[in-house]
Structure 1
C-alpha cells in the first residue's frame, strides 16, 4: 500500500514539472538586468560666494538744523519734503537786534581808531620833546603805554564788529548740505534760542545712500579661517544686491565701504556699511532691507543639485555615486552654502565622480547600473 502511494506522489511531481515551460525554468536561476540611472559627472568651476544679511538704510549725510542765535522767526523759506542746495536759506530770524549790535560795534571801532590816532600823535611828540628835556622820560613812557593800549582797543573793537557780523549772518539760517528736507518743527512767529535742543528741520543727502548690515562675528571669523587655509580667496570689490521689504530687487548694486573694528557686545555682530547709488530716491532712511553680499571666491567649486543629496536622521549628507565597475556606492559629503537649487560640496567628491540624480529610489548600494547623462536636464 505504501509503495502505491509513493508511486502516485512521484507521478504528481513529474506532471507539475512538465507543466513549466523551459523559459520559466531558466528564469528561476537568472538575476534582473542592471537598472538605468541618470547621473552627472562632477566638474569644478569658479564661484563667487554670497551671504544674505539684514540691514537698515541710513542717509549718506544728515544735517540737523538748529539756530545759532536767539530771536523771533520771521518766515520759512523752503518747501517741506523738497530738495534744497547747500547754502540755501531756510529760515529768517528777526535781524533788527543784530543790526543794532553791529552798528554799535562799528561805532566803538571808530572811537578806538580816533583814540589811537590821538595817543599816537602825543607819543611821537613826546619822543622829540624828551631830547630837549621839555618832558620827562616818565611822561614819554606813559604816552607810549597809552598808545599801545589804544592799538589793543582797536583790535578788541574789530573783534566785536566781526562777532556782530557773524551773529547777523546767523539770522539767515542756511542749509550746510544739499539734499531732501523734512517737515519743519517751527512756524513763523516762534521764538528760537541759540543752540537749542529741538532741531528746526532735518536735511538728508540720499544719493548715494548707506545700508548698514549686520553679520555675526562667528561667521566673519569662519570666513577668515577659510581664506587663511587657502580654501577661499578674498572677493575683489565686494558687491551688494539689495532686496526691498516687498520682496522686489533694487536694480542698482552697491559695494561694501568698510566694516566696524569692534563687535557689539549685546548682539555679537559686526556692522558692515555699503554704499548704494540712489538716483530716484527709492531707498529712504530707516527702511529695512536684506542684502546679498559677496563674501569670497572658490576657484574650484563643486556643485551638486539638491535632489542628489540625502541626509540621515542626524543631518549628515551623502550622495550615491557610480563606481568604475558600474556599481552603486554611498559617499558621505560635506555641504557648504546653497547656490540656487544646488549645494556647494566642500569635501567628499572629486572631479570625474559620477553622482546619481535620477532613479535613486530604484537602486541600492552594490547594485549594478547603467547610466545616462542627466546633468543637461537640471
Structure 2
C-alpha cells in the first residue's frame, strides 16, 4: 500500500508541473519577425527615346554597268580592278581605225556637198535675173531654186553624218559614267565586244554614302503611326539610324531614315525602309548583313523599371513588389512594353512615387514588414571592381 500511495503522489506532482508549464507557455507572446532590409527605386515619369532593332542589307548608293556603245576589239584596259574611278575617266579603248575611216569618209562627203551648194546657188541667182526679162521660163527658175535647196539639205545631212561618225570614234574610248569603286574586268585586251551585248565589261558602285535596306512588319509600323497620330509618341526631324555589323561590333557613324515604301510585301507582311549611312572609310560593302537600330520617337511620360525587379506570376503577368503603407510589402501587376537596355518600359500598373523593391525581395510576400532604403545602382559596381582587381592580381 505504501508503494502504491507513493506512486500516486509522483504522478500527481508530474501532472501539476505539466499544467504549470502549459500555463506559463500560454502567457508568453510570439515575437514579431524583424523587418527585412530592401532597396527600392522611387517610380517617376520621364521621357524615353524608343528604338527598334531590325535586320537590313547594304546597297550601293549608285550602280552602273560599263558596256560598249560601239563594236570592235579592245586594245587597252586603263584601270586597276578594285580602284576608285572618277566620272569621265577612260577605262577601255576599242580599236579606233574603222571609226577614223568613217570620220574621214563623212568629212569628204561634206566637202563635196558644200562644193555643190555653191554652183546651185549661183545658177539660181542667174535664173532669177533671166526670169524677170522672160528670157527663161518660170519652170526653169523654180527648178534651179529646188536644186539649190537640195544642195543645202545635202550639206546638212553630211554634217550630221560627220557628227555621228565623230561620236562613234569618241566612243571607242569607254569612260566611267559615275564616280565609284570598280569591280573586276570581265573582258580582257583582245576581246571582241559589240554595242548590243548584254554582258557588262565591269561594274562601278558608289558606296559613300551607302544605303541600308531594312524590313519592318507592317503591323509595327501601323502601331507606330497610331501612337504618333494620338500624340503618345513624338518625332523630331528625320529618324536616326545606328548599325551593328556582322561581327557584332558597332558601326560608329549615324545615318538617317530616308523613306518608307508605300507597298506591303504580301508574302512577308513587311514594308521596306531605306536608310542613308556615311561610309567614308569604305567599311560597309554592298550586300553586307547588318542590324539597324532606328529611333522611332520620344514617349514623353513613361516608367522604366529594372528587369531584375520584375517577375511573372502563374498567369505570365509581370509583377513587382512595392513598399506600401506601414512599410509593408504590396504586390502590383504591370503591363510592360519593350525592353530598353536593362529596364522594362511600363505602360500601366505604377504611379509616381511608388517605391519599387529592387534588391532583397526574393523571399518577401505581400504584407511582410520591410526596412527600405533608396537603391544605388553604382554601389554594386563599386564593390565588384575591387574584387575583379584582386582576382587579376
Q: TM-score, with normalisation over the residues of structure 2? A: 0.90
Query: Partner of 1:64 in structure 2?
Result: 65
CA distance in structure 1 between the aligned counterparts of 2:295 and 2:302, rounded to whole angstroms: 15
CA distance in 1: counterparts of 2:17 and 2:325, whole angstroms: 50
Equivalence for 2:194: 193
Q: Distance in 1 between matches of 2:228 and 2:335?
A: 18
Equivalent in the alignment of 1:10: 15
Q: Distance in 1 between matches of 2:97 and 2:134?
A: 55
Deviations 1:267-302 (A, max 9, x none): 211111111111111111111111111111112221
User: What is residue 153 of structure 1 aligned with on the other side?
Assistant: 154
For the residues of structure 1 that align with 2:93 and 2:145, how far apart are their CA atoms?
Answer: 47
Instruction: Name the SS for the 1:325 alignment partner.
Output: helix
Supply the RMSD in Å over aligned alpha carbons: 2.1
Compare 69-78 and 253-262 and name the one that shifted more: 253-262
Q: In the TM superposition, what whole-angstrom CA distance separates every residue of 1:6-38 from its partner, at most 9, and x where no partner exists?
A: 844531314535886xxx95343x432332221
Tell me the CA shift for residue 143 of structure 1: 1.4
| Residue of structure 1 equivalent to 2:383 | none
Indicate the residue corresponding to 1:270 in structure 2: 271
Match of 1:228 in 2: 229
The structure-2 alpha-carbon separation of the partners of 1:36 and 1:26, relative to structure 1 and needing over 3 Å to count, comes to: farther
Greater shift, 85-94 or 118-127, is seen at 118-127
Equivalent pair of 1:112/1:157 in contact (CA under 8 Å): yes
Q: What is the Cα deviation at residue 45 of structure 1?
A: 2.1
Report if the CA contact (8 A) 1:235-1:294 is conserved.
no
C-alpha distance after superposition, 1:341-369 (max 9, x if no partner)? 11111122122111111122222112232
In 2 relative to 1, CA 245–152 (structure 1 residues): closer, same or farther, beyond 3 Å?
A: same
2:109 is matched with: 108
Q: Residue 16 of structure 1: SS of its match in structure 2? A: helix
Deviation by residue 1:176-233 (Cα, 9 ceiling, x = unmatched): 1111111000111100000311000011111111111111111111111111222111
Structure 1 unaligned regions, length at least 5: none
Aligned equivalents of 2:56, 2:264: Cα separation in 1: 16
SS at match of 1:250: strand
Gaps of 5+ in 2: 381-393
Tell me what 1:52 maps to: 53
Q: 1:118 to 1:312 in 2, by over 3 A?
A: farther
CA distance in 1, matches of 2:184, 2:43: 60
1:283 aligns with 2:284: yes
Task: Show the counterpart of 2:165.
Answer: 164
Q: Is the 8 A contact 1:48 1:235 kept in 2?
A: no
Instruction: Write the distance in 2 (CA, Å) between the matches of 1:345 and 1:209.
Output: 37
- Matched residue SS, 1:232: coil
Using the alignment, how far apart are the partners of 1:37 and 1:5 within structure 2?
Answer: 55
Alignment partner, residue 252 of structure 2: 251
Q: Please give the alpha-carbon distance, in whole angstroms, between the structure 1 residues aligned to 2:21 and 2:326.
A: 41
3-state SS of 2:272 partner:
strand
Q: Which runs of 4+ in 1 moved over 4 A?
A: 3-6, 17-20
Q: Which residue of 2 aligns with 1:373?
A: 374
Q: Secondary structure at the match of 2:264?
A: coil
Alignment check: 8 A CA contact 1:38 1:371 kept: yes
Deviation, 1:175, is: 0.3
Change (3 A) 1:172 1:303: same
**How many aligned positions are there?**
374
Post-superposition shift, 1:308?
0.9
Aligned to 2:39: 38
| 1:159-190 C-alpha deviation (Å, 9 max, x unpaired) | 11111111111100000111111100011110
Residue 43 of structure 1, CA deviation: 1.6
Shift of 1:307: 0.9
- Name the structure 1 match of 2:344: 343
Q: Which of these residues, 20, 26, 29, is aligned with residue 28 of structure 2?
A: 26
Contact 1:235–1:295 (8 Å) recurs in 2:
no
